[in-house]
Structure 1
Amino acid sequence: MEQQLTYTMPRIGDKAPDFDALTTIGQLNFSDYNKGSWVILFSHPADFTPVCTTELSGFAKEKEFFAAHNTKLMGLSIDSIHSHIAWVNAVQEKTGILFEFPIIADIDMKVAKLYGMLQPGESETSAVRAVFMIDPEGKVRLIMYYPLNIGRNMEEIKRTLLALQTSDTNKCAMPLNWEPGKKVIVPAPKTIKALAERKSSNLEMVDWYLALKSI
């Protein structure tokens, strides 16, 4: 019986694994790059492929949004640095879009294995489309996985980043389909006194455990 390879991956709440890697902007240490800012680390299957070109172009076009929200980008695929540079150059020449964020040349698959981006049922040589959102403390806060043939949703990536940051700032939770400007969920009361205070508050009460407010 053929043995299937398996790789571990960090979980939500874990410290993001640190690494050193060669990227399109030079040699980088991840924890240094992460220090003081959010990082979205994302992988793509291969350079010079159509879905990946649309995705990385999408990230590049949102440069100002991510900068405004203290978020750095870092891409990865199991390609050489020369392939990355040639692809970056080709996309800029054809579309005018420049991938200014670093793209890891993970030819030895070290980072892909460290983050569980290689999933043998999909491919043993190409990374799936993974997204890791890592906060300024270096903690993994959100993980998304997409198969090789399905592109990510940039609006959802932006929405979830804002939801995480808003939740941290306001100590609240986000309801279904939350977007900036919509009401947030207030943590449920844990004492009888807190319950009484909630009943007499100005919160929008659905039930004692579900209350919303504007921020």
Structure 2
Amino acid sequence: MKYWLVALLIYSLPLQALQLGDAAPDFEAETTMGAVHLDHWRKDHWVVLFSHPASFTPVCTTELAAVERLQGAFEKRNVRPLALAVSPLGDLKKWLDDIEESQGVRPSFPVISDQSRNISTRYGMMHPRSNNVTTVRSVFIIDPRGRIRLKIDYPPSIGRNFDEILRAIDALQTTYRYPVLTPADWQPGDNAIISPKLSDGDSKALFPDQEEAILPYLKYTPLP
């Protein structure tokens, strides 16, 4: 087979969808805060990467403002927000003016201009049933090692719940730090579930204040 035909077949194959635990693809991009090289910019932080269909969209206008209002909460958790839209950089900067005028806050975190759609495509953000410049409103939470720990997709009509995203970050950071799981509706301060992978001896050594087991595989404990 001709080499050019082999190359064409390879590059025409669809990209494999990113899975939880995969390394977040590195990239360099122009943003409203200057150039960003993800792996260098991330450093030892957690990252929330979230995409928008385009500039001057109503739901996303409220979302970018919501994230700015939560900057203190993100900083407390060692998290850096990073937004993305498939729009020219000039449009993004004008959009920030609109956000400041309508919402009373101006986003101080970077918003990526992904006009080429390279990042959106690599992360699987492109909407397969819409036009080719519309991104799925995706959220990726990336840990300090650069691994994808959570991903959520939202339809264009529904605003994201950033309180839930903060709760998920708290749960991820808890399970990152301790060999535990978090039960349904868990909130910081609630008891966690001891990982069933721990032996009884290790479990009691790590969590001496654990509650009596409800089931052999369901043991609650306060965190140290």
TM-score (norm 2): 0.87
**What is aligned with 2:120?**
112
Offset of residue 155 of structure 1: 1.2
Offset of residue 47 of structure 1: 1.3
Note if contact 1:21-1:28 (Cα within 8 Å) is conserved in structure 2. yes
Note if contact 1:189-1:195 (Cα within 8 Å) is conserved in structure 2. no
Note if contact 2:65-2:103 (Cα within 8 Å) is conserved in structure 1. no
* Equivalent residue for 1:103, pick from 95, 111, 118: 111
**What is aligned with 2:7?**
none
- Please give the alpha-carbon distance, in whole angstroms, between the structure 2 residues aligned to 1:59 and 1:174: 25
- Please give the alpha-carbon distance, in whole angstroms, between the structure 2 residues aligned to 1:95 and 1:201: 46
Q: What amino acid does structure 2 have at the position aligned with 1:66?
A: F
Q: How many residues align?
A: 209
- Please give the alpha-carbon distance, in whole angstroms, between the structure 1 residues aligned to 2:114 and 2:98: 20
Note if contact 2:194-2:203 (Cα within 8 Å) is conserved in structure 1. no
Percent same amino acid at aligned positions? 35
* Equivalent residue for 1:207, pick from 215, 218, 221: 215
- Please give the alpha-carbon distance, in whole angstroms, between the structure 1 residues aligned to 2:202 and 2:45: 37
TM-score (norm 1): 0.90
Q: Does the residue aligned with 1:206 lie in a helix, a strand or coil?
A: coil
**Greater length-normalized contact order (CA 8 Å, ≥ 6 residues apart):** 1
Q: What amino acid does structure 2 have at the position aligned with 1:92?
A: E
Note if contact 1:8-1:115 (Cα within 8 Å) is conserved in structure 2. no
* Equivalent residue for 2:98, pick from 76, 90, 99: 90
5+ unaligned residues in a row in structure 1: which ranges? none
Deviates more, 1:155-164 or 1:168-177: 168-177
Offset of residue 95 of structure 1: 2.7
Q: 1:90 and 1:80, CA in 2 relative to 1: closer, same or farther beyond 3 A?
A: same
Q: 1:171 and 1:107, CA in 2 relative to 1: closer, same or farther beyond 3 A?
A: same
**What is aligned with 2:24?**
16
Q: Aligned-pair RMSD on alpha carbons? A: 2.2
Q: Does the residue aligned with 1:92 lie in a helix, a strand or coil?
A: helix
* Equivalent residue for 1:141, pick from 136, 149, 153: 149
- Please give the alpha-carbon distance, in whole angstroms, between the structure 2 residues aligned to 1:183 and 1:102: 36
Q: How does 1:45-124 map to 2 (within 5 A)?
A: 45-124=53-132
Note if contact 1:7-1:118 (Cα within 8 Å) is conserved in structure 2. no
Q: What amino acid does structure 2 have at the position aligned with 1:157?
A: I
Offset of residue 202 of structure 1: 4.5
